[in-house]
């Protein structure tokens, strides 16, 4: 075993895992917000995330076609596409709740779950159709900003890009904002009341339907922000972009304790670090028998073991309040 190499790359592996984990966490917040109120696994959230990514790339491509992209400040452009992606994805989530989930609220839980899967496939094909008609292509590449690709060095063996730092900063800001919203505002109290007992919340004068719509708006906005940042970080998006990150983010939410906001963040970080360690060390520790392509098997095997011993997730029993 080449221990100097193992220890030498460790800081960079941790950094890569944190960036990946914060991305999963940002997506997982949308899952956990909706589950916390309705106990519904919104499988369409991965496609809401994908729509946010497409909103961002379309704005950038239109600005570039008009010759407006280069003169603008890259950070203002990023803020513009993130906010627009949040708005569109948030409104899309509200529309989905109104059309596909609200009529099924009193149905057995399996029915809205199937409806969510149907909405997921519908959104994939709808985006593919629109982009095929609009651009004759649905694999789109984000225009790059040189300032976002600059590398920041931390010592001799660790560096990361500015866009990776943006992902981490955005995730932390969203976590703090959501915690404040849920625990320190009247809206947050209403969300928690609806999450605990909808009939009683209604008797206390809370408009349950409005609160549920607001919850979907917030969760969808988180997905839209994650979609735009995903596009900036990884450059290429397509109608199926949301599937794998969505499954992993849902896993992260379950791992952290679904319905628990800090749990989503912790679950995302644990999953990201496990994947990064597996991708970097499997080949070294197995003498080349297993490579980075087995990182998902390794990471999910560890997660299964964790959930066997803590089925409510890492923070599911520690923090009782739900989104």
Q: Which residues in the chain belong to E strands, given as ranges?
A: 140-141, 151-154, 158-161, 236-237
Q: Kindly state the percentage of the chain with pLDDT values over 70.
A: 97
Q: Kindly state the percentage of the chain with pLDDT values over 90.
A: 43
pLDDT value at position 196? 87
pLDDT value at position 317? 53
Contact 191, 206 (CB under 8 A): no
| Per-residue confidence in pLDDT tens, the chain, 323 aa | 677 777 778 888 898 899 899 989 989 988 888 888 878 888 899 999 999 999 999 999 999 999 888 889 999 999 999 999 999 999 999 999 999 999 998 888 889 889 999 999 999 999 999 999 999 888 999 998 889 988 888 777 788 889 889 989 988 898 889 889 988 899 999 998 998 889 999 999 999 999 999 999 999 999 999 999 999 998 899 999 998 888 888 888 888 887 788 888 898 998 899 889 888 888 888 877 777 788 788 777 877 887 788 888 777 654 444 44
Beta-ladder partners of 151: 161
Tell me whether strands 158-161 and 151-154 are parallel, antiparallel or unpaired.
Answer: antiparallel
Q: Which two tokens stand for residue 57?
A: 């790339």
pLDDT value at position 322? 46
- Round to whole Å and give the CA distance between 256 and 265: 7
pTM, entire model: 0.89
Residues shown for the chain: 323
pLDDT value at position 139? 92
Q: Quickly count: other Cβ atoms within 10 Å of residue 306's Cβ.
A: 16
Backbone torsions φ then ψ of 160, nearest 5 degrees:
-150, 160
pLDDT value at position 38? 79
pLDDT value at position 1? 66
Backbone torsions φ then ψ of 265, nearest 5 degrees:
-65, -45
Q: What secondary structure does DSSP assign to 89-139, as a single string?
A: HHHHHHHHIIIIIGGGTTS-THHHHHHHHHHHHHHHHHHHHHHHHHHS-S-
- Round to whole Å and give the CA distance between 149 and 167: 13
* pLDDT tens digits, one per residue of 63-76: 999 988 888 999 99
């Amino acid at each position: 075993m080449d221990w100097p190499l193992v220890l030498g790359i460790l800081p960079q592996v941790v950094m890569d895992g944190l960036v990946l984990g914060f991305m999963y966490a940002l997506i997982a917040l949308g899952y956990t917000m909706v589950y916390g109120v309705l106990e519904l696994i919104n499988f369409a959230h991965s496609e809401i995330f994908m729509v946010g990514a497409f909103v961002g790339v379309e704005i950038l491509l239109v600005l570039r076609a008009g010759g407006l992209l280069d003169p603008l400040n890259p950070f203002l452009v990023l803020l513009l596409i993130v906010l627009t992606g949040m708005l569109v994805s948030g409104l899309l989530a509200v529309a989905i709740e109104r059309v596909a989930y609200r009529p099924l609220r009193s149905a057995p839980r399996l029915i809205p779950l199937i409806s969510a899967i149907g909405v997921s496939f519908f959104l994939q094909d709808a985006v593919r159709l629109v982009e095929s008609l609009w651009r004759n292509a649905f694999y789109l590449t984000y225009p790059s900003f040189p300032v976002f690709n600059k590398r920041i060095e931390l010592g001799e063996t660790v560096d990361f890009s500015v866009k990776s730092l943006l992902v981490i900063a955005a995730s932390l800001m969203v976590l703090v904002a959501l915690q404040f919203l849920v625990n320190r505002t009247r809206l947050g109290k209403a969300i928690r009341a609806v999450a605990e007992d909808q009939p009683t919340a209604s008797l206390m004068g809370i408009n349950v339907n409005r609160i549920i719509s607001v919850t979907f708006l917030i969760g969808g906005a988180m997905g839209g922000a994650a979609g735009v940042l995903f596009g900036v970080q990884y450059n290429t998006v397509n109608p199926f972009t949301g599937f794998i990150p969505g499954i992993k983010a849902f896993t992260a939410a379950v791992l952290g304790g679904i319905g628990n906001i800090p749990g989503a963040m912790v679950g995302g970080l644990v999953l990201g670090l496990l994947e990064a360690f597996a991708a970097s060390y499997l080949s070294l520790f197995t003498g080349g028998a297993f490579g980075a392509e087995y990182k998902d098997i390794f990471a999910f095997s560890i997660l299964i073991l964790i959930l066997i011993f803590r089925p409510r997730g890492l923070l599911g029993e520690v923090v009782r309040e739900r989104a």
